Structure 1
Amino acid sequence: MSGTHHHTAGPSYRFGVFDVDPRTGELRKRGVRIRIQEKPLQLLLALLERPGEVVTREELCARLWPGVHVEFDESLNAAVKRLRQTLGDVADPPRFVETVPRRGYRLIVPVERIGIDRRDHHEPAEVGPPPGGLSRRRERLPALAALAAAVVLLAGVAAVVFDRRPEAVPSAVVEHTPADARRVTLAVLPFDDLGSSGDRAYLSDGLTEELITQLGRLLPERLAVVARTSVMRYRGVRRDIREIGTELGATHVLEGSLRADGRRVRIAVRLVDVASGTQVWSDVFDRGLGDALHTQIDVVRAVARSLAADLLPGEPEALARAGSTSGEAYDAYLRGLYALRQGTVTGFALARQEFARALADDPDYTMGLAGLAEVALNEGHYRLRRPADAYDEARTLAERALARDPDLLRARAIAAEAYHLLGDRDAAAHAFGKLRASRGVPSDALVQYAWFLHAEGRTDDALVEIARAHVLDPLSPVVGTARAHLSFEAGRLDEAGVQIAAVLARDPDYPYASYVLGLVSEARGDTTAALAAFERAHELGEGAPKYTLRLGLAYAVAGRLEDARRMLEEVRAAAAREHVPAEDLRRLESSL
């Protein structure tokens, strides 16, 4: 790297496994300095200064070639290509640098501003690709006491500070820590159900989701956990762990199996380093079904030890507090969770039944209360009952759970969303603020927070939060579609089009994605494509009023009045069994 360029003083940056020091112009990956050319470095710094925002090609040209008037398109493209090669990134789908067609580029990962340690120190020599994963670098780890001190330092940092200005990006400001105290990204793959009857899927899926939730609470400054939606698509998939880990952007993968026999369950777990494919740790737990919660806590502790990410004080107690001492209640909870994740009307009804059974056995079971609150929230979303009643029940149940466990993020996220949907802006702002300042915020909560910010007129901030959710849950159709929808609402049609196309390429049968594609196509003036997309959403959504209403309006605009009237009759029939907002019905009627 050229030493003639002047690098300005300023804060260092951390994103993913990378650290950048603008003062010295150095880039490190997991603490090891790697080569980066001058133009890609300047490009990276420009993006780091404005994470989540589009930096235009013109701005980048002025930054990389100040005062020079040249045809910069090819040169800028080459600089972006070299930067992606350095970061191990690709254009589609991107992990770090996203192309915004005809506008510029955007950094789509969370960025931390880090204070500069100005003490003199010796640096490792520049190298090419760094060594393998954490297990192959054990000899370079500092003493456990030093690492524990770093953990305490990070844990004592103030919560994320929010600037109310639209252009501001929320950031966590932490002190410089040793390079080995690096961020690890863990993917917990769906546990295999090895039982002969195959009727324990609820137990294996439930254990997977609970591990994701609890591991995500440990120390997110250093341990990121890929969200449930992205990993669940690998259920039953037989592929090389290194390939799966790379697709998910993970440094480590936790996989396991479960075999239930009568009232006992045998759970085998192993932790794998993605870079090397080697096993870091493994164990087998042979317990009674009623001890499933304690098995979960033991696995969390073992994984934390293996990743040198010690549990914070009180964390084991927090895990136990969220659970139940009743094996029957925990079993019913996992059955309810499995039914809830089906996302169907039948699944919601079964989930309500199972969560109620768990609470009948243990009335103070906080996860059971949160589960039932989530059912009520979905019943309102799907108009299975009067939304205001459903959201009010969700709020009440979430508040009961929080009264017993104030740190239960799932309950806080449900409460915040319920406040927002009930029109209690102050309560929603307070709840979302506390949620966002917590450790291990789940991706679905970030999605709801993004919609809240949009409703507040803070669309730029909303786009930053949805980008963070996308990093946590890169393969989720829910997150990806919400991201495209928010881009559409912000008037960024090109971005929305690219984003929704990526979702549909992976999940062509997701009705919400087709719906958003229809909105984007309609805004572009492509009536034919819009109609096809709305028809697809209506078909996949099994006649849900939301999709039926929108298709009816599209038919009316296209002059297909008979088809529009048919949609109107469908909505009127649905109104007899589901809640349909009167204003939506009147809008379709007035279009005819």
Structure 2
Amino acid sequence: MTRSTAPLSSREIYLFDIFEVSVRLRTLRQDGERRKIQELPFQMLLILLEQPGKIVTKDELGRRLWGSDALIEVDDSLYVVAGKLREALGDRAVNPRFFKNIQGRGYQFIGDVTSSFEPYAIGNAVVEGSDNAGDVLGASSDVPSLSRARRFAFWSGLTFVGLIVFCAAMYKYVNRSLVSDQDRVVVGSFINSTGNPDLDGTLSSAVQLKLQESPYLSLVSDQKFRAKLKAVKQMTFEAELQTCSSLDAQVLLKGRILPKTQGYQISLSAWRCGTGGLLTTQEADATTQASILSAVDLATERMRRRLGEPEASLQKFNVPLMQATTASLAALKAFTLGEETRFDPNGGAIASYRLAIDLDPQFALAYARLGTAYYNTSHYALGMQYNKKAFDLRGRATDRERLYIITHYYEFATGETLLAIEDYERWRTIYPRDAVPLNNLANIYLTMGQPEKALPFALRVIQLDPTNEALYGNLAFAYLGLGEYAKVDGLCKDPVHTLRAPIYFRRVCFRAAAAEDDDAGMQRILESVRGNPQENLVVDDYAWVAMSRGQVAKARELFFHARQNAIEQGALDYSTSIQLDKVSIEADFGYLAYAAADLKVITTLETEDPAEQASAARAAAKTGNLVRAEYLAKAANARAPLNTIVNAALLAAARSEIHAQKRQYAAAIQSLEQTRPYDFCVAMDLSPGYYRGLAYIQAKKFEQAAAEFQRVIEHRAQADFPIYVILSELELAHTQELLGNRKAAEKGFQALKHLWENADSGFLPLSKLHAYENLHKTTSLVGSSSR
């Protein structure tokens, strides 16, 4: 091994084998041709070349490559960087020619290396070795022989420049982006050709997560692709291509792991969906099973580069898989199984995610998925527990999945809606092609009762993923909340959206039909959900419509059938929610004995949902059971102390009713003031303004009461069903009478009598209307006699 005696600081060129490394130009050349190499592998090469033959420790390499304060797994990151350096040098980890890994210590350059000053200069600098300052390209001279030399140099230089331009053009062509930034990509199957069953169904989710990490690529949902592929009942390459095309995607990525004499090879191929033409194949080798995930890192990085992702993006968004997911292939396999059933409403993925975290207790994303699965099956305490664990481990995730963990923690675990919105905004800024934050922002704003803010996000997400039927529900709901019924009808009657429409979309269509008194439309939707596992949700909606029309007996029958259907489907959480709907309406319509009896069923079940506990607390207070009401209110607050909607809306309404029952009307009004920013949120269904109006009547503040009732009526489009709009119309007419506005009062009474012309006899709100009318007539007679 030859060493130069020149000081390290003056060495400009390192030479080894057929390679030349320029420190000043930061280039690597092989046989005179420049090799492509990233910055970190190049820096690692320079560090090793400074001390050939000596072991450079991992600590020194980590400090010089990333700094002493970097929060990374140095071993794993060095492994990835070393792999990229081997790729650039054509070296191998087994029987290396240039550098090797000294297990547990560091890395050592083992090739023969020499170093010297840079032999050529750039621009108009003097060529090394010249004694004449005039011997500079382009300088004038009167010596004929030198003129011929200059002419020769000029033409040689021109030819050389032309060759460089040609080579650069060829390099640019060979390394051109294979797709446009508008092309959509589907991640297909990952085939295990090793014969090792432990690797079956293990790596597909790893590839998906690595590609999702890219802000550049536009990926089609893997769940959507699998569902569509399952529907065609084929798993062939041709079926994947056809499914890719049917989803309006342009590129299909498929993976394979193959055995090698020593280790494995990871292969990723990109295909044109429309033609089946192969675009590119990118490969990476793993010497052992433990290094398979690092090979997946390399292969996906190369694929991302060939698909056109800029180098700056690759440098920034490229967390090693072992840091972002797990180093355990067994845990990754369990996680992948969970991903395949992630959206199963019965929680089919829970066992797989639990196994993943049992195998690797540091698997952050598995905790997050498990928390969401528990939340979706109404196990709220467990959902909060696992989302909290994921949040604590959020550093062990890619940038995108870290945002997933943070937003789901705030939205579902703590219920801090405003913080969730802030981080969803950050997510969509970093990943503008990602449909998830856009759809979730639309959903949150709809939940908050702000359809005007939801609409732009609902429209944008459909532009990104127009074939995803699940996204049209939010668009229809936004139009409904804005009172644009014609646009809702256009969506609901479009056969493209009604063939396999999700239940959420159909419920929006049902509510639009109810708002327009379209009984035939409501019946069509009821028929369309017959036999659906979530049929009970639409039947529950129909019960609300019946109650608003005064058809109490029919409504109670519908509530009963909805509950029974939910129980038969094993959806006990829906059963509780339906019972609570019935209790709340009965209490506000004045059927207090019925409400008290039905409430016992709910409180016996001790629901985990803090929102349901808060709603039950108000119903209990309305029926006069203040002890139970205060117990439920405290339980809801203890379970969700930071939840925006639970505390600022639902519990505020419950406490207001507790104060009203104690005839503390000023306190009741004050409690409801904090709900004002959330008056239109879905959970309240416009009830806060109605409750506030009632409190003002009790406090003899009739003008304020009238203003509250009028505000509810003006926002009728934002009510799922007009229960509290109709009750506000009744109380507004009453308030107008109390204010002496008899014509306005009479007009309100007549409109309600028309609405309730088919109401059951003894319908209590209608009885109250008649009582108000009698008061109106009595007041009129007294007024006449006094004149």
TM-score range, shorter chain: 0.5 to 0.7
Match of 1:373 in 2: 371
Cα deviation for residue 289 of structure 1 reads: 7.6
Counterpart check, 1:228 vs 2:222: yes
Which has the higher relative contact order, 1 or 2, with Cα contacts under 8 A spaced 6 or more apart?
1
Cα deviation for residue 510 of structure 1 reads: 2.9
The whole-number CA distance in structure 1 between the counterparts of 2:585 and 2:394 is 41
Match of 1:321 in 2: 323
Match of 1:429 in 2: 421
Question: What are the ranges of 5 or more consecutive residues in structure 1 without an aligned counterpart?
Answer: 1-138, 149-177
The whole-number CA distance in structure 1 between the counterparts of 2:352 and 2:507 is 32
Which one of 518, 521, 532 corresponds to residue 513 of structure 2? 521
Match of 1:306 in 2: 306
Cα deviation for residue 507 of structure 1 reads: 4.7
SS in 2 for 1:437: helix
Match of 1:185 in 2: 183
The whole-number CA distance in structure 2 between the counterparts of 1:259 and 1:496 is 52
Counterpart check, 1:218 vs 2:214: yes
Match of 1:47 in 2: none
The answer on whether the counterparts of 1:481 and 1:503 sit within 8 Å (CA) in structure 2 is no
Match of 1:549 in 2: 540
Match of 2:70 in 1: none
Match of 2:435 in 1: 443
Match of 1:491 in 2: 483
Structure 1 pair 410/531, CA: closer, same or farther in 2 (3 Å)? farther
Cα deviation for residue 489 of structure 1 reads: 2.1
The whole-number CA distance in structure 2 between the counterparts of 1:588 and 1:538 is 25
SS in 1 for 2:361: coil
Structure 1 pair 340/447, CA: closer, same or farther in 2 (3 Å)? same
Match of 1:397 in 2: 389
Which one of 413, 419, 424 corresponds to residue 410 of structure 2? 419
Counterpart check, 1:297 vs 2:297: yes
The whole-number CA distance in structure 2 between the counterparts of 1:411 and 1:535 is 43
The whole-number CA distance in structure 2 between the counterparts of 1:400 and 1:390 is 15
The whole-number CA distance in structure 2 between the counterparts of 1:560 and 1:480 is 32
Counterpart mapping for 1:555-566 below 5 A: 555-556=546-547, 564-566=555-557
Which one of 337, 353, 356 corresponds to residue 355 of structure 1? 353
The answer on whether the counterparts of 2:267 and 2:299 sit within 8 Å (CA) in structure 1 is no
The whole-number CA distance in structure 2 between the counterparts of 1:278 and 1:259 is 22
SS in 1 for 2:573: coil
Cα offsets for 1:301-356 (capped at 9, x unmatched)? 23213223245215333544212111111111112222323x13151xxx222222
Letter in 2 for 1:482: N
Letter in 2 for 1:317: V
Letter in 1 for 2:229: Y
Structure 1 pair 530/257, CA: closer, same or farther in 2 (3 Å)? farther
Structure 1 pair 549/586, CA: closer, same or farther in 2 (3 Å)? same
The whole-number CA distance in structure 2 between the counterparts of 1:143 and 1:472 is 34
Cα deviation for residue 185 of structure 1 reads: 1.8
* TM-score where L is the length of structure 2: 0.44
The answer on whether the counterparts of 2:186 and 2:220 sit within 8 Å (CA) in structure 1 is yes
Cα deviation for residue 478 of structure 1 reads: 1.7
Counterpart check, 1:578 vs 2:570: no
The whole-number CA distance in structure 2 between the counterparts of 1:181 and 1:282 is 14
Letter in 1 for 2:419: A
Match of 2:278 in 1: 279
Match of 1:452 in 2: 444
The answer on whether the counterparts of 1:522 and 1:530 sit within 8 Å (CA) in structure 2 is yes
The answer on whether the counterparts of 1:399 and 1:415 sit within 8 Å (CA) in structure 2 is yes
The answer on whether the counterparts of 1:188 and 1:254 sit within 8 Å (CA) in structure 2 is yes
The answer on whether the counterparts of 2:367 and 2:389 sit within 8 Å (CA) in structure 1 is yes
The answer on whether the counterparts of 2:189 and 2:204 sit within 8 Å (CA) in structure 1 is yes
Aligned length: 405
The answer on whether the counterparts of 2:192 and 2:200 sit within 8 Å (CA) in structure 1 is no
The whole-number CA distance in structure 1 between the counterparts of 2:284 and 2:498 is 36
Which one of 459, 462, 466 corresponds to residue 470 of structure 1? 462
The whole-number CA distance in structure 2 between the counterparts of 1:180 and 1:509 is 35
Counterpart check, 1:345 vs 2:346: yes
Letter in 2 for 1:549: D
The whole-number CA distance in structure 2 between the counterparts of 1:226 and 1:455 is 26
Structure 1 pair 274/360, CA: closer, same or farther in 2 (3 Å)? closer
The whole-number CA distance in structure 1 between the counterparts of 2:433 and 2:382 is 24
Cα deviation for residue 505 of structure 1 reads: 4.3
The whole-number CA distance in structure 1 between the counterparts of 2:369 and 2:477 is 27
The answer on whether the counterparts of 1:571 and 1:585 sit within 8 Å (CA) in structure 2 is no
The whole-number CA distance in structure 2 between the counterparts of 1:408 and 1:443 is 16
Cα deviation for residue 364 of structure 1 reads: 1.1
Cα offsets for 1:116-142 (capped at 9, x unmatched)? xxxxxxxxxxxxxxxxxxxxxxx9996
The whole-number CA distance in structure 1 between the counterparts of 2:483 and 2:473 is 15
Higher mean alpha-carbon deviation, 489-498 vs 280-289, is at: 280-289
Which one of 525, 532, 546 corresponds to residue 540 of structure 1? 532
Letter in 2 for 1:476: N
Structure 1 pair 488/308, CA: closer, same or farther in 2 (3 Å)? same
The answer on whether the counterparts of 2:187 and 2:252 sit within 8 Å (CA) in structure 1 is yes
The whole-number CA distance in structure 1 between the counterparts of 2:457 and 2:174 is 30
Cα deviation for residue 479 of structure 1 reads: 1.4
Cα deviation for residue 465 of structure 1 reads: 1.7
* TM-score where L is the length of structure 1: 0.57
Identity %: 15
The answer on whether the counterparts of 1:370 and 1:401 sit within 8 Å (CA) in structure 2 is no
Which one of 336, 350, 359 corresponds to residue 334 of structure 1? 336
The whole-number CA distance in structure 2 between the counterparts of 1:286 and 1:542 is 48
The whole-number CA distance in structure 1 between the counterparts of 2:285 and 2:334 is 20
Which one of 549, 552, 560 corresponds to residue 569 of structure 1? 560
The whole-number CA distance in structure 2 between the counterparts of 1:500 and 1:210 is 38
The whole-number CA distance in structure 2 between the counterparts of 1:523 and 1:513 is 16
Which one of 451, 470, 481 corresponds to residue 473 of structure 2? 481
Cα deviation for residue 298 of structure 1 reads: 3.9
Letter in 2 for 1:325: A
The whole-number CA distance in structure 2 between the counterparts of 1:179 and 1:291 is 29
SS in 2 for 1:470: helix
Letter in 2 for 1:234: L
The whole-number CA distance in structure 1 between the counterparts of 2:169 and 2:476 is 43
SS in 1 for 2:314: coil
The answer on whether the counterparts of 2:364 and 2:389 sit within 8 Å (CA) in structure 1 is no
